[in-house]
C-alpha cells in the first residue's frame, strides 16, 4: 500500500481525508450510530425525560408477553412479505416476460404498469380510501356489497396489501424487463431449436440466467415488506388490524406515550430480521464480484 | 407501415405456414390480457382524478361510481389556497433540491475514491454504505429523533434552535440515507470506465480533485441524470422522516402535509383526492419527461449486481 499512497501529494491526501471523512461521519453519525444506539436503548426504560435505568431484557419480555399489537404486527409483516413475494413479485415477472417480446403498444402497457411506482406510498394510501371506503367507495358500488373494507380488522390488511402490490408489481416488472433484455437471444433460439416450448425455455434456460436479478428482486421484496409504513399510516395510522412493526416503533416516539426503551426493543427485532437478509445479500453480491 | 397492413387479411395469408396462423389468436389474447391489466392499473388513478372533479354532495348521494352531474375544479382551488399547498411545495423544494445535489456530490466523490483510487479498506466502506441504505428507517429512528432534539443550531439556521424541526435536519437525513445507494450504483458505473483515461492524466501530474471533477465526473453524466431523477422522486415521496423529525405544520413537505387535508371527524374524500392528485403531479410529470432516466435509475443497481 505504501508504494501506492506515495503517488498522492499532500493536497490529494487532504482532499481525500476531508471528502471521505465527511461521508463517513454522516453515515456513522446518522445511520449506524443511531442503529447501535437502538440496541443500547432497548435495554433501558427511558421515556426521554427521567434518567434512564438499565432493565436488561425486560422490554423484550413485555413485548412478547403483554403487548398484543406486537403479535398482530408480526403476523401482518409476515403476511405482507408473503403476499408481495408469492403474488405481486411473480405477477411482475409474468408481466415482464409477456412484455419482453416485440409487441405493439408494449410501451403503453409498460407505462401503465409502472405509473404507480412514482407515486408516494402515502398517496397510494389516500387513493386506496377512495376505492375501499364503505359508504361511497367504488368497490362496494360495483359489487353491490356493503363491506367495511378498511374498518373490518379481519379483512383490512388484505385490501391494503393489494394496494401495496399495485405499486410493487410495476417495480418488479421494470427490473425483470431490464434483466430479460440482457439475456442472450441465442440462448432462447437454441432452446427453441432443441424443441423446448416457451414455458420450458423460460424455466429451464432463461430463468436460471436471471439469478443476479432474482437476488435483487428478492431483497427489494423483503426490504419493502419490512419497511411498509406510509400506506397504513395514511389510512388509519396503523391501528385496528393494520399494525406493522414499523408503525409500533414510530408510535412510541410520535405518540402521546414516549416509551423510547420499549420502542427501541421493537426496532431491534426489526433490525435482526433485516440484517439476516442484508448480510446474505451483500455476501452474495460481493462474492460474485471477485 | 400501411403497405404491410393488408397481409393481415385472411385471403392473402393462405400460403403462409400454419405456425404463423396459430400465433395470431395468441397475440390477440396477449394484447387482451395486457390491455386489461394496464387498464386495471390506471383505473385507481383515473378514479381519484374523477372524484376530485365532483362535488362532495354529489358523490355522497350517488357514490363514486356514477355519472357526473357537475364537474368542477373547485377542490383544486380549495386544496391550493385553503390547504396552503404552494407553501408546502416550497418546503419540499427547500429540502429536496439541496438533498439531491449534496447526495450526488458526496456519493460521486466517495464512489470515485472507492472505484478509481486504491484506498485501503474500500470494500469495507462500500459494504457499510450499501448496507446502511437497506436498513428500514425505523431501526434507527428513535435514537435519531433523540439526537436531533439534542443538537443545537443557531437560530438563523433553524427557528426551533435544534436539528429537530429544521429543514437542515431533513436534508441531512435524506443525504445520509440515500448516499449508500448512490455510492453503490456509481462505483459500479465508474469501474466500467477504462483506467487509461485517468492513468494518462496521472502521468501528467493531475491531482485527485482534477481527476475526479474534470476527468471522471463528465463521463458519469448518464448515471448522474438517472440517479438525480430517482432521488428526486424518493425524497419528494418521503412521508416518514418529515412526520417524525418535523413538528411545525408550516414546515412540512407537501407529501406529509397532505395528511392535513383530513379533518378530525369528517374527511371530504373529494378534497383529499384533489390534494392527492396535486401531490402526485410533480412526480408524474418528472416521470413522463425523464422516463428513460427514471427507468435507467431503477435498473442500474439491478443489471450489474
Give the whole-angstrom CA distance, residue B284 versus residue B289.
Answer: 9
Residue A261 has pLDDT above 70, yes or no: yes
Q: Does residue B1 form part of some domain?
A: no
Nearest-CA distance from B110 to chain A in Å?
6
Where residue B263 falls among pLDDT bands split at 50, 70, 90?
Answer: low
Cell of B293: 432516466
Which of B38, B58, B75 is the last residue in one of the domains? B75
Top pLDDT among A175 and A1 is at A175
Q: Does residue B14 form part of some domain?
A: no
Task: Look at A31 and B147 and tell me if their CB atoms are within 8 Å.
Answer: no
| CA angle, residues B48, B54, B59, in degrees to nearest 5 | 90
Task: Look at B176 and A29 and tell me if their CB atoms are within 8 Å.
Answer: yes
Give the best-scoring range by mean pLDDT among B91-95, B131-135, B159-163.
B91-95
Longest Cα–Cα distance of chain B, Å, equals: 83
pLDDT in tens, A203-236: 888 898 888 888 888 888 998 999 999 999 988 8
Looking at the 3D structure of chain B, how many domains does it have? 2
Q: Tell me if ipTM is over 0.95.
A: no
3-state secondary structure of B300: helix
Q: Residue A23: which of B118, B134, B179 has the nearest Cβ?
A: B179
Cell of B23: 400465433
Residues B63 and B101 in one domain: no
Least confidently predicted of A4-13, B39-48, B163-172: A4-13
Task: Look at B110 and A19 and tell me if their CB atoms are within 8 Å.
Answer: yes
Give the best-scoring range by mean pLDDT among B40-49, B104-113, B189-198.
B104-113
Residues B239 and B106 in one domain: yes
Residues B185 and B284 in one domain: yes
Please list every residue in chain A whose beta carbon sits closer than 8 Å to the beta carbon of residue B123.
286
Please list every residue in chain B whose beta carbon sits closer than 8 Å to the beta carbon of residue A26.
106, 172, 175-176, 179
Predicted local distance difference test score (pLDDT) of residue B55: 85
Please list every residue in chain B whose beta carbon sits closer than 8 Å to the beta carbon of residue A103.
30-31, 34
Q: What percent of chain A has pLDDT over 70?
A: 95
Nearest-CA distance from A85 to chain B in Å?
18
Cβ-Cβ pairs closer than 8 A, A with B, add up to 297
The CATH number of whichever domain residue B261 belongs to comes to 1.10.3720.10
* Run of H or E including B99: helix B85-116
pLDDT in tens, A65-81: 989 899 999 999 999 99
Residues B57 and B108 in one domain: no
Residue of A nearest to B296 (CA): A178
Predicted local distance difference test score (pLDDT) of residue A6: 52
Predicted local distance difference test score (pLDDT) of residue A75: 94
Nearest-CA distance from A7 to chain B in Å?
9
Task: Look at A179 and B303 and tell me if their CB atoms are within 8 Å.
Answer: yes
Q: For the whole prediction, is pTM greater than 0.90?
A: no
Please list every residue in chain B whose beta carbon sits closer than 8 Å to the beta carbon of residue A111.
291
Would you say the C-alpha torsion B45, B46, B51, B52 has a positive or negative sign? positive
Of the candidates A217, A215, A30, A238, the one whose C-alpha atom is nearest the C-alpha of residue A121 is A238
Least confidently predicted of A136-150, A206-220, B15-29, B114-128: B15-29
Q: Does residue B208 form part of some domain?
A: yes
Of the candidates A239, A231, A275, A223, the one whose C-alpha atom is nearest the C-alpha of residue A36 is A275
Predicted local distance difference test score (pLDDT) of residue A78: 95
Q: Residue B298: which of A26, A126, A174 has the nearest Cβ?
A: A174
Give the whole-angstrom CA distance, residue A171 versus residue A91.
Answer: 11
Q: Does residue B11 form part of some domain?
A: no
Residues B208 and B291 in one domain: yes
| Mean pLDDT in residue range B49-68 | 81
Residue A3 has pLDDT above 60, yes or no: no
Residues B44 and B143 in one domain: no
State in Å, rounded, how far the first CA of chain B is from the last one.
Answer: 40
How far lies B156's CA from each of A264, A272, B149, B161, B197, in Å? 33, 40, 17, 8, 45
Residues B92 and B47 in one domain: no
Residue of A nearest to B208 (CA): A12
Which of B51, B75, B99 is the last residue in one of the domains? B75
Nearest-CA distance from B14 to chain A in Å?
23
Provide the domain limits for residue B164.
Answer: 81-303
Nearest-CA distance from A209 to chain B in Å?
12
Nearest-CA distance from B258 to chain A in Å?
8
Predicted local distance difference test score (pLDDT) of residue A5: 44
Q: Does residue B171 form part of some domain?
A: yes
pLDDT in tens, B6-53: 333 344 344 444 444 456 788 889 999 999 999 999 999 998 898 889
| Mean pLDDT in residue range B266-289 | 87
Residues B86 and B228 in one domain: yes
Residues B62 and B189 in one domain: no
Interface test with B, best of A102, A120, A121, A287 (most B CBs within 10 A): A120
Residue A64 has pLDDT above 80, yes or no: yes
Which of B55, B75, B95 is the last residue in one of the domains? B75
Please list every residue in chain B whose beta carbon sits closer than 8 Å to the beta carbon of residue A116.
41, 44-45
Residues B135 and B278 in one domain: yes
Q: Residue A249: which of B31, B138, B286 has the nearest Cβ?
A: B138
Give the whole-angstrom CA distance, residue A24 versus residue B106.
Answer: 10
Predicted local distance difference test score (pLDDT) of residue B114: 93
Q: Does residue B141 form part of some domain?
A: yes
Residues B51 and B165 in one domain: no
**Average pLDDT over chain B, rounded to an integer:** 84
Task: Look at B239 and A141 and tell me if their CB atoms are within 8 Å.
Answer: no
Of the candidates B281, B132, B298, B183, the one whose C-alpha atom is nearest the C-alpha of residue B229 is B298
| Mean pLDDT in residue range B276-299 | 86
Q: Does residue B65 form part of some domain?
A: yes
Q: In this structure, what are the phi and psi dihedrals at residue A44, rounded to the nearest 5 degrees?
A: -120, 170
Q: Does residue B9 form part of some domain?
A: no
Task: Look at B146 and A30 and tell me if their CB atoms are within 8 Å.
Answer: no
Q: What percent of chain B has pLDDT over 90?
A: 39
Residues B71 and B106 in one domain: no
With 0-12 / 13-18 / 19 or more C-beta atoms within 10 angstroms meaning exposed / middle / buried, residue B218 is exposed
Amino acid at each position: 500500500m505504501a508504494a501506492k499512497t506515495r503517488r498522492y501529494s499532500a493536497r490529494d491526501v487532504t482532499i481525500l481525508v476531508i471528502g471521505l471523512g465527511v461521508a463517513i461521519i454522516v453515515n456513522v453519525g446518522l445511520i449506524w450510530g443511531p442503529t447501535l444506539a437502538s440496541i443500547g436503548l432497548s435495554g433501558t426504560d427511558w421515556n426521554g425525560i427521567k434518567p434512564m435505568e438499565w432493565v436488561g431484557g425486560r422490554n423484550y419480555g413485555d413485548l412478547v408477553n403483554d403487548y398484543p399489537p406486537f403479535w398482530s404486527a408480526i403476523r401482518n409483516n409476515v403476511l405482507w412479505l408473503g403476499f408481495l413475494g408469492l403474488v405481486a413479485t411473480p405477477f411482475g415477472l409474468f408481466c415482464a416476460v409477456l412484455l419482453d417480446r416485440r409487441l405493439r403498444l408494449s410501451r403503453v402497457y409498460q407505462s401503465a404498469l409502472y405509473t404507480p411506482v412514482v407515486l408516494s406510498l402515502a398517496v397510494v394510501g389516500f387513493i386506496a380510501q377512495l376505492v375501499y371506503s364503505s359508504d361511497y367507495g367504488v368497490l362496494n358500488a360495483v359489487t353491490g356489497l356493503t363491506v367495511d373494507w378498511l374498518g373490518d380488522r379481519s379483512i383490512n390488511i388484505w385490501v391494503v396489501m393489494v394496494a401495496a402490490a399495485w405499486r410493487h408489481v410495476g417495480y418488479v416488472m421494470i427490473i425483470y424487463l431490464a434483466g430479460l433484455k440482457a439475456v442472450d437471444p441465442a440462448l432462447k433460439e437454441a432452446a427453441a431449436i432443441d424443441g423446448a416450448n416457451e414455458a420450458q425455455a423460460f424455466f429451464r434456460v432463461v430463468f436460471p440466467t436471471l439469478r443476479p436479478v432474482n437476488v435483487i428482486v428478492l431483497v427489494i421484496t423483503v426490504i419493502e415488506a419490512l419497511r411498509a409504513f406510509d400506506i397504513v399510516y395514511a389510512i388509519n395510522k396503523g391501528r385496528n388490524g393494520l399494525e406493522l412493526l414499523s408503525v409500533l416503533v414510530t408510535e412510541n416516539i410520535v405518540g402521546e406515550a414516549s416509551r423510547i426503551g420499549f420502542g427501541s426493543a421493537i426496532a431491534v427485532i426489526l433490525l435482526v430480521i433485516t440484517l439476516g437478509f442484508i448480510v446474505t445479500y451483500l455476501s452474495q453480491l460481493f462474492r460474485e464480484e471477485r | 407501415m400501411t403497405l404491410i397492413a393488408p397481409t393481415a387479411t385472411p385471403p392473402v395469408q393462405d400460403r403462409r405456414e400454419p405456425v404463423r396462423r396459430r400465433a395470431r389468436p395468441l397475440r390477440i389474447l396477449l394484447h387482451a390480457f395486457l390491455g386489461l391489466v394496464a387498464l386495471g392499473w390506471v383505473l385507481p388513478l383515473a378514479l381519484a382524478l374523477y372524484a376530485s372533479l365532483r362535488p362532495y354532495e354529489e358523490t355522497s348521494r350517488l357514490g363514486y361510481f356514477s355519472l357526473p352531474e357537475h364537474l368542477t375544479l373547485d377542490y383544486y382551488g380549495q386544496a391550493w389556497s385553503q390547504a396552503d399547498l404552494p407553501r408546502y411545495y416550497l418546503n419540499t423544494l427547500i429540502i429536496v433540491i439541496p438533498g439531491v445535489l449534496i447526495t450526488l456530490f458526496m456519493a460521486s466523490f466517495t464512489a470515485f475514491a472507492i472505484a478509481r483510487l486504491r484506498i485501503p479498506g474500500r470494500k469495507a466502506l462500500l459494504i457499510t454504505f450499501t448496507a446502511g441504505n437497506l436498513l428500514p428507517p425505523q431501526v434507527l429512528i428513535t435514537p435519531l429523533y433523540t439526537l436531533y432534539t439534542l443538537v443545537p443550531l443557531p437560530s438563523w439556521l433553524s427557528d426551533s434552535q435544534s436539528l429537530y424541526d429544521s429543514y437542515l435536519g431533513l436534508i441531512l437525513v435524506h443525504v445520509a440515507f440515500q448516499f449508500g445507494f448512490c455510492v453503490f450504483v456509481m462505483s459500479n458505473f465508474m469501474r466500467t470506465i477504462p483506467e487509461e483515461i485517468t492513468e494518462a492524466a496521472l502521468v501528467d501530474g493531475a491531482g485527485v480533485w482534477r481527476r475526479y471533477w474534470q476527468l471522471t465526473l463528465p463521463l458519469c453524466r448518464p448515471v448522474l441524470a438517472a440517479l438525480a431523477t430517482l432521488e428526486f422522486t424518493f425524497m419528494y415521496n418521503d412521508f416518514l422522516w418529515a412526520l417524525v423529525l418535523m413538528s411545525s405544520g408550516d414546515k412540512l413537505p407537501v407529501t406529509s402535509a397532505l395528511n392535513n387535508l383530513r379533518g378530525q371527524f369528517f374527511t371530504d374524500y373529494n378534497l383529499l383526492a384533489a390534494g392527492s392528485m396535486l401531490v402526485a403531479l410533480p412526480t408524474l410529470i418528472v416521470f413522463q419527461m425523464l422516463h428513460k432516466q427514471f427507468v435507467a435509475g431503477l435498473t442500474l443497481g439491478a443489471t450489474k449486481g
